[in-house]
Amino acid sequence: MNDDTLLRYSRHILLEAVGIEGQERLLAARVLIVGAGGLGSPAAMYLAAAGVGQLVLADDDGVELHNLQRQIAHGTYDIDRRKAESAAETLRSINPETRVEVLCERLLGERLAEVVAGVDAVLDCTDGFASRYAINDACQRQGVVLISGAAIRFSGQLAVYDPRDPESPCYACLYPPGDSDDDALSCAENGVIGPLVGVVGSFQALEALKLISGAGTPHKGLSTFDAMTGSWRHFNVPRDPSCPVCQLRGEAVSL
Ligand SMILES: [Zn+2]
């Protein structure tokens, strides 16, 4: 690390739990962020600022006026641009040392599996069950840690699914496919209070930085945040032995 790099990351390096070694791990890491909207904006901005070496940013949407109330990686002059490109420009301005790969596409199937296979962690910053199941499936098969965030109205939640840990549940253990009647639950119909996505997206970035640098212990179970009262709750989530998704994890992962 040269002097500028040491200075830029000095407040991480000063932390005993991170130090030079932890910062070097961050600089060498590659993280996929799916969704460059409300959750993806703060998550990606913090990861870029923290010096994560490579960020892969996937989003097939364009920036719209009604996004700007909470999607802070985009500004008024970004309307009609691709979200992944607009956010990447913000990230490069925060930290030119972070390499940002832009994927203006909806990752599915083999393509999703291929991108997931090459990263150290995945942040699910999407809204919608179809994407969430697909990302969970790919992470379980490829043995990559999934840091999942969600925010709607005044409610936020976070969970970390670690396929390397035999005790860890997956997203489908928590939300079995077929139970999700409220598939249409999205910000478009329901609204979301702006800074809530900042709370959850920042929490996702925090867990990613801990995971990669080796600081602390990974979040377990499910945390929910009620913005109406400002209170957090925590739930233990056991792995579902009959879950069809995480049964696959042995096939692609050597534990
Ligand atoms: Zn499962």
Helix axes of 83-94 and 40-49: crossing angle, nearest 10 degrees: 30
Q: Indicate whether 1 belongs to any domain.
A: no
Asked if residue 123 lies in contact with residue 204, where contact means CB atoms within 8 angstroms, the answer is: yes
**Ligand 1 centroid – CA 144 distance (Å):** 14
pLDDT tens digits along 68-106: 999 999 999 999 999 999 999 999 999 999 999 999 999
Q: Which residues of 141-154 are buried (b: 16+ CB within 10 A; e: fewer)?
A: bbbbbbbbbbbbee
Place of tokens 């609204």: 191
**CA–CA separation, 108 and 191 (whole Å):** 27
Q: How many domains does the chain have?
A: 1
Rounded distance from Cα 222 to ligand 1 centre (Å): 14
pLDDT score of 249:
76
Distance CA 130, CA 113 (A): 15
Tokens for 84? 């992944």
| 173 labelled catalytic | no
The CATH code of the domain that includes 229 is 3.40.50.720
User: Residue 57 in contact with residue 40, Cβ under 8 Å?
Assistant: yes
Task: Give the chain as a 3 state SS string.
Answer: CCHHHHHHCHHHHCCCCCHHHHHHHHHCCEEEEECCCCCHHHHHHHHHHCCCCEEEEECCCECCHHHCCCCCCCCHHHCCCEHHHHHHHHHHHHCCCCEEEEECCCCCHHHHHHHHHCCCEEEECCCCHHHHHHHHHHHHHHCCEEEEEEEEECEEEEEEECCCCCCCCCHHHHCCCCCCCCCCCCHHHHCECHHHHHHHHHHHHHHHHHHHHCCCCCCCCEEEEECCCCEEEEECCCCCCCCCCHHHHHHHCCC
- pLDDT at residue number 187: 63
Distance (Å) from CA 119 to ligand 1 centroid: 21
Domain around 87: 17-248
Q: Per the domain annotation, does 253 fall within a domain?
A: no
Q: Is 8 inside a domain boundary?
A: no
Q: What are phi and psi of 254, to 5 degrees?
A: -95, 110
The pLDDT value recorded for residue 255 is 39
Tell me, in angstroms, the distance from the centre of ligand 1 to residue 49's CA: 33
Report residue 65 as tokens: 């006026």
Residue 196 CA to ligand 1 centre (angstroms): 27
CB neighbour list of residue 13: distance below 8 Å, 6 or more residues apart: 6, 19, 20, 23
| Spacing, Cα 92 to ligand 1 middle (Å) | 36
pLDDT given at position 58: 98
Annotated catalytic residue: which of 173, 187, 243, 246?
187
Confirm whether 142 is domain-assigned: yes
Is residue 9 one of the residues assigned to a domain? no
Q: How far is the CA of 171 from the centre of ligand 1 (A)?
A: 6
Residue 58 lies in a domain: yes
Flag residues of the chain having pLDDT under 70.
179-188, 250-255
